[in-house]
Amino acid sequence: MFDRDRWQEIWSSLAKNKLRTTLTAFGVFWGIFMLMVMLGSGSGLKNGVTNGMGDFATNSVFMWTRPTTIPYKGLPRNRRYFYNNDDIKALKENIAELDLLAPRLEGGGRNSSNNVVRNDKSGAFNIYGDYPEWNLIDPTNILKGRFINKTDIDQKRKVVVIGKRVYEILFAKDEDPLGKYIRINGIYFQVVGVFTPKNSNMNFGGDKEESIHMPFSTMQQAFNYGNIVAWFAMTSKPGFEVSVVEEKAMKLLRERHKVAPEDDRAVGHFNLAKEFKQMTGLFAGINALIWIVGTGTLLAGVIGISNIMLVIVKERTKEIGIMRAIGATPSKIIAQIISESVLLTTTAGYIGMVVGVFLIEMIDRNLPPPSGRDTMFLHPNIDFQVAVTALGILVVSGIVAGLIPARKAVSMKPIDALRYE
């Protein structure tokens, strides 16, 4: 395999027509180069989308009320109803697969008037009434202080956790907001924490950094919501599909609020696990398409090499006849031709792979840092196993490309080869 004379002969054969060899090798180079670039780009797109989800619980489902569309038990269609505190207890007691349950209230937002004031500064921000469990479903980075806790809920404390943008608007630079008061719709609340979101693409009603969280029970009492719950966020226990929780919760809530079992529009719901599974399937499809296109491009280059090897074999017919006449075995001739093909294929392919990986690395280094929800392309990379697989494809391709010309070379009788003009 590593006979110096044979490799010198192989190199001499390929170097006889440098232009032809270069153009043939370029087909393989371009095929593996494009495969690397497409795989790296696909991983960058996937990383950008999944990074936007951060640590958000993907095994979660959300439910809210909508007007009924079917009359039921003497109640008219188009009836509006609301979830309530009793539903919280009912969901926990009747759904064994339920893990986290986070009721929520919301108000305010960009389209409202300035609902938050501190001294001479004000702004329109999203206000949420939450349980501590919300921070486990949609985690935040706490920059200062803390998030809502159970004691806040039990004692209905007038405390809030504010987003980073809220802090920047209402407070002076480097001012400590903890313990300070802000006025929300005329009621004073003490700031106990400042946060930034861990994810940017999962938004419910507006920019998370422009939102304020307060205890759920406090918001019900302070703003006269009574026992109303706007919507629920739920997750399933490990080992259970969240769709099971979804189905049981929808059935239970329909029964409790006298909604027709077949009225699918009366209970709004969003299954994030299902969407995440579809997204994962989409990226798997994109990855498969990349492999098909990239491998097809590479195959075109390999076919080009096989054709050129056939031409080379034809040009060397008399030389092969002489080798056979002086005792060269068919296996030695086959090995030499396949070696020429493998050398050409792997050299061109390896260069293409190195250039492709280098380009992806340069793109990664020169990408701007992630900047919120607009980051859709992040950290493109080539997996090591993918590189090993590509090398394996190159070697196999080189063998296949040289096999047909090699068999043709040994199929001719030595005497006929010597007579060939």
Specify whether the CB–CB gap between 250 and 90 falls below 8 A.
Answer: no
At 419 the pLDDT is 58
User: How many Å from the N-terminal Cα to the C-terminal Cα in the chain?
Assistant: 31
Nearest to 296 by CA among 11, 30, 103, 3: 30
At residue 325 the predicted structure's pLDDT band, cuts being 50, 70 and 90, is: confident
At 370 the pLDDT is 64
At 332 the pLDDT is 79
Average pLDDT over residues 47-64: 77
> CA-CA distance, 404 to 401, in Å (whole number)?
7
Nearest to 88 by CA among 219, 216, 211: 216
Q: How many other CB atoms are found less than 10 A from the CB of residue 279? A: 15
Specify whether the CB–CB gap between 102 and 216 falls below 8 A.
Answer: no
Q: What is residue 75's DSSP assignment? A: B
Q: Decide which of 327 and 178 is more confident.
A: 178
Q: Rounded to the nearest 5 degrees, what angle is found at the Cα of 54, between the Cα atoms of 375 and 172?
A: 75
* Maximum pairwise Cα distance, the chain: 106
Q: What is the pLDDT of residues 273-298, one digit of tens each?
A: 888 888 888 888 888 888 888 778 77
The position carrying tokens 């009320």 is 65
Q: Is 376 helix (H, G, I), strand (E, B) or coil?
A: coil
Type of residue at 51: N
For residue 367, count CB atoms less than 10 angstroms from its CB and return exposed for 0-12, middle for 13-18, buried for 19 or more: middle
* Cα-trace Rg, the chain: 34
pTM more than 0.85: no
Show the tokens assigned to 273. 């696990």
Specify whether the CB–CB gap between 302 and 349 falls below 8 A.
Answer: no
Q: What are phi and psi of 161, to 5 degrees?
A: -115, 125
Show the tokens assigned to 235. 């997750």
Q: What is the pLDDT of residues 236-253, one digit of tens each?
A: 999 999 999 999 999 999
At 202 the pLDDT is 65
Q: Which residues pair with 303 in a beta bridge?
A: none
Q: What is residue 370's DSSP assignment? A: P
Show the tokens assigned to 224. 């006269």
Q: How many other CB atoms are found less than 10 A from the CB of residue 274? A: 15
